[in-house]
Amino acid sequence: MDDVWKVLAGNLAAVALIVSIWTHLSYRFYQLPPKLRCAGLGVTMGLAAIASMLLSVRFDVGVIFDLRLAIIESAAVFGGPGAALITAIMAAGFRFYLGGAGVAPGLTAIAIVFVLGSSLWFFAGKKPMNNAPSILSAAVLAGCLSIAVLALLPQADFQRAVDQVGLPIVVLNFATTAAIGFFLAYFRRFTLERDILHAALTQAPDYHYVKDLEHRFVVANLNVARHNGRARSSEMVGLTDYDLAPRERAEQLMAAEADVLRTGQALDHFEEFLIEDGKPPRWYSTSKVPLRNRQGDMVGLAGVTVDITEKKLLEQELRSSRNIMAQAMAEMSDGLAMFGPDGKIVFCNEQYRALFPKSAYARKDSAHITDIVRATVRNGERQNLPIDLDEEDIQAAAKTLFVDKDEVIPMADGRWLALRTRVTEDQHVLALVSDITAMKESELSLKSFAERMKGLAETDALTGLANRRSFDERLQREFEVAKQTGRPLSVLLIDVDRFKAYNDRYGHLAGDGCLKSVAGAIAAAARRSGDITARFGGEEFAVLLPNTDSDTAIAIGDKIRTSIRELGMLHEGSEYGLVTASLGATVFTRDSRLANPTELVARADLALYQAKDAGRDRVGFQRLADERVKKPA
């Protein structure tokens, strides 16, 4: 009995080794298509079954006991019928090769386990069992099957087999299935976590990278690769700054990184102005943090560099604009006040007091800034200083006097004041105040007007939907996103059936009303965030559905079709007696061979004509295959 346990335990170890090798290989060859990965798992399990038979327990002449049944069931419930079929064929072929009296019962047992394991796969929803209860259930089934198939032996051998190897066979088959299941489940979770982390790093915006202790790139996102003249992120792995930058620049970068690794202190938002060969001058902000493993040992550093050129240019423009405005106000009769180092008013003009009528009594010579702030708060003169401000906040607000600043103050009476304070070398403070209410109102009015004009430029005047130009721009953007991310992109084209006949019979004003109603029905049916509804031209409409597969696109299309029919608009020139619409749908996926979004719209147009040709008032769908579909006349 001890020998049986030892042999089967060694058997289990061999199986575990083979499965472990497969998981590591599958992680390396992650780009293989699913069918090849399934076949690979099946071959691996087949090899494990062969190894199990080579290390089997010899029960009688031509009769052996091993763990092949657990392996076949594992291939089925954790890999699917395809993998199980390959495993079963390999196991059956080798068992037939071994020969002996146990060939027929062995092959029968393999067939039974394959059928039951595949059935369990379908029962579990055609996906691998990943949680503990389902894995243990599969393991229990393996244990039960291992003892049940002993009944295939002659009656005299059955009882003897149960007595001699029954318990080890049950326990080791249970353990084998559980071990394979938990290992594969763990590896799937591990792979998913690694993939998510890798995708988050490599696909993030800005410039993200990770380096080891030797300052070599371990991971870099696509932005870093392209910035350094590489086409793929993988081309950055193993390079250092000496490979990418002039020697002097590389030494500066490595010295900064060496300080981070030596001190363990992060480099936070370090700003640089760089002029690189063949590139326009840019501003960058860089942060680098040391990385430690679970034991606390330094293993490398992570960095992120942000291009802040636009921000710097905006800041320069803002400073320039404020300087010009301040100079202009200095030449006008605006409010002017001088405060001494002790925070008391040295001088102020009447215009300064007039700009603050509710606290003018406190704005006098020798008045302290704290008393002025208290009066302002008590009278509710400024919107940004609530009347319930406590003494601590009042003191804090008073201290901001001794800070160079340009501030726009919203007043409670609706005015806007511009406050400019400058601290001199002897700690005096000059405060210049101007009423910029008209300017602020003009600015807000201009912004509002610009927003209205933008809306008019992107909107169809009749229907209120997006116009053709807006739709084409959004389609181009979403097409590029779909190509880069692999997410599906669906397009619907909608044509009002027999619309010319409707116009001829009811007139153009009624036709316009019909189009407005149809547009409302389309917009109401396609209301998801990100969906774009547009008037494509004439009586044609289009709907852009980002991150939407074919089934969902067809469902949305049918909802739109139904909504238009349910408007119940009479149309005596239509075969249906009502206003209806035909729709064409198509979807762009990772595998689609399209060069530009125009071809995608052309496919939707083909689907639309197919719907019309099939009797109208329906949704046609065009798959993006290689074959060419002839457009109906």
pLDDT tens profile 599-621: 999 999 999 999 999 999 999 99
Q: What digits encode the pLDDT tens for the residues 192-217?
A: 777 776 666 666 678 888 999 999 99
**pLDDT at residue number 454:** 53
- Mean per-residue pLDDT, 427-435: 87
% of the chain surpassing 70 pLDDT: 90
Tokens of 354: 């007039």
Same domain, residue pair 184 and 45: yes
The residue from 396, 414, 440 where one domain ends is 440
Look at the alpha carbons of 29, 31, 37, 40 in this order and tell me if their dihedral is positive or negative: negative
Same domain, residue pair 605 and 472: yes
The 8-class DSSP code of residue 214 comes to: T
Same domain, residue pair 40 and 122: yes
**pLDDT at residue number 629:** 40
Comparing 21-30, 234-243, 569-578, the range with the smallest average pLDDT is: 21-30
* Residue 383: how many other CB atoms lie within 10 Å: 13
**pLDDT at residue number 289:** 92
**pLDDT at residue number 240:** 92
Same domain, residue pair 482 and 393: no
Per residue, the 3-state secondary structure of 523-559, as one string, reads HHHCCCCCCEEEEEECCEEEEEEECCCHHHHHHHHHH
The residue from 243, 274, 307 where one domain ends is 307
**pLDDT at residue number 517:** 93
Q: Which residues, listed in sequence order, are joined to residue 207 by a DSSP beta bridge? A: 305
Rounded Cα gap, residues 383 and 260, in angstroms:
45
- Answer whether residue 222 shows pLDDT above 90: no
> What range does the domain containing 347 cover?
316-440
**pLDDT at residue number 17:** 77
Same domain, residue pair 173 and 231: no
Residue 360 or 234, more confident = 360
**pLDDT at residue number 203:** 67
Same domain, residue pair 283 and 323: no
Tokens of 108: 């029968």
Tokens of 556: 């949305």
Give the total number of structural domains in the chain.
4
Tell me, yes or no, whether 517 lies in a domain.
Answer: yes
Tell me, yes or no, whether 445 lies in a domain.
Answer: no
Residue 128 or 521, more confident = 521
Rg (CA), the chain: 38
Q: Which pairs with CB-CB distance under 8 Å and at least 24 residues apart come from 468-476?
A: 468/534, 468/535, 468/536, 468/537, 470/532, 470/534, 471/532, 471/534, 471/536, 471/542, 471/544, 472/597, 474/532, 474/544, 475/544, 475/597, 475/600, 475/601, 476/597
**pLDDT at residue number 219:** 84
**pLDDT at residue number 498:** 92
Tell me, yes or no, whether 628 lies in a domain.
Answer: no
User: What average pLDDT is seen over the chain?
Assistant: 83
Comparing 172-186, 197-211, 380-394, the range with the smallest average pLDDT is: 197-211
- Mean per-residue pLDDT, 472-485: 91
**pLDDT at residue number 626:** 40
- Answer whether residue 381 shows pLDDT above 50: yes
Tell me, yes or no, whether 451 lies in a domain.
Answer: no
**pLDDT at residue number 479:** 92
Q: What digits encode the pLDDT tens for the residues 313-345?
A: 888 887 876 566 545 444 555 888 889 999 999
Tokens of 504: 């001829």
pLDDT classification of 549: cutoffs 50, 70, 90: very high
Same domain, residue pair 371 and 228: no
Residue 475 has, within 13 A of its CA and on its CB side, a CA count of: 26
CATH number at 70 reads: 1.10.1760
Tell me, yes or no, whether 495 lies in a domain.
Answer: yes
**pLDDT at residue number 437:** 81
Rounded Cα gap, residues 262 and 265, in angstroms:
8
601's enclosing H/E stretch is helix 597-613
pTM score over 0.75: no
Same domain, residue pair 73 and 154: yes
Tokens of 229: 């003249």
**pLDDT at residue number 516:** 92
- Answer whether residue 632 shows pLDDT above 60: no
**pLDDT at residue number 129:** 73
Phi, psi (degrees; rounded to nearest 5) at 624: -90, 70
**pLDDT at residue number 592:** 82
CATH number at 497 reads: 3.30.70.270
- Mean per-residue pLDDT, 446-461: 64
| Block residue for tokens 């594992």 | 74
Tokens of 466: 């997006």
Rounded Cα gap, residues 564 and 293, in angstroms:
61
Give every CB contact of residue 209 below 8 A, 6+ residues apart in sequence.
217, 219, 220, 221, 224, 236, 302, 303, 304
- Answer whether residue 356 shows pLDDT above 70: yes
- Mean per-residue pLDDT, 133-161: 76
Same domain, residue pair 465 and 544: yes
Active site residues: 539
**pLDDT at residue number 567:** 92
Same domain, residue pair 303 and 336: no
Q: What is the DSSP string of 488-504?
A: -EEEEEEEETTHHHHHH
Phi, psi (degrees; rounded to nearest 5) at 371: -65, -35
Rounded Cα gap, residues 304 and 476, in angstroms:
30
Tell me, yes or no, whether 452 lies in a domain.
Answer: no
The residue from 410, 440, 470 where one domain ends is 440
Tokens of 139: 């393991």
**pLDDT at residue number 201:** 62
Tell me, yes or no, whether 226 lies in a domain.
Answer: yes
- Cα 488 versus chain centre, distance: 13
317 by Cβ neighbours in 10 Å (0-12 / 13-18 / 19+) ranks as: exposed
- Mean per-residue pLDDT, 59-72: 75
Same domain, residue pair 271 and 352: no
**pLDDT at residue number 585:** 95
- Answer whether residue 279 shows pLDDT above 80: no
Tokens of 619: 């949704």
| Block residue for tokens 């193993």 | 238
**pLDDT at residue number 562:** 94
Tell me, yes or no, whether 402 lies in a domain.
Answer: yes
- Answer whether residue 172 shows pLDDT above 80: no
Same domain, residue pair 281 and 372: no
CATH number at 392 reads: 3.30.450.20
Rounded Cα gap, residues 534 and 514, in angstroms:
16
